A and B are shown apart, each in its own frame.
Chain A
Amino acid sequence: DTAVSQTPKYLVTQMGNDKSIKCEQNLGHDTMYWYKQDSKKFLKIMFSYNNKELIINETVPNRFSPKSPDKAHLNLHINSLELGDSAVYFCASSLGNVLTFGAGSRLTVL
């Protein structure tokens, strides 16, 4: 069973479009995250949620909106996509200090 699963794995879209990435974890963890890994492989936190409540919102354009319908799900919606949004987006969850990551969703904006 996949612990943290994200869909889609690949996403290619045009500038200006709106897209969503979904994430689900079956570990029973209370906290979920979105991280962005850019072309230089730098992994940076975007958001974290604890029991459906937003805890961290780093300096991210408000075109990015996370939504957590329940503590097992954290989705990421992106409006008006820009070229610079191209990256790999990782969902993760944690119980305590250790993170379990999904396999990543590679977003390419043309």
Chain B
Amino acid sequence: KQEVTQIPAALSVPEGENLVLNCSFTDSAIYNLQWFRQDPGKGLTSLLLIQSSQREQTSGRLNASLDKSSGRSTLYIAASQPGDSATYLCASAYSGAGSYQLTFGKGTKLSVIP
């Protein structure tokens, strides 16, 4: 059974700082890994998707990396802004019974202080 862990559970940083969020998974046989952002009480917004054959993906100030052999992914946020405050979730997609499902971590709650 796939398990996904995110460390730290919460993080508070001053505006402008660069930061890294960590995600680890137990089963390396994944199709892809996806990072999401969730604002309080809202749905999930997809940030970055890394296919299993890729090592990293970039979008603006965000960079996500994937190391399947060690079962780890990181999300790097450059020059953080107060608007980045949210909970960040990682999810691995793996197969089962001919389809696939996402397994999520509990998330990292990020607060960027002005």
**Genuine A/B complex:** no
**Could you tell me which A residues sit within 8 Å of B by CB distance?**
none
**Could you tell me which B residues sit within 8 Å of A by CB distance?**
none
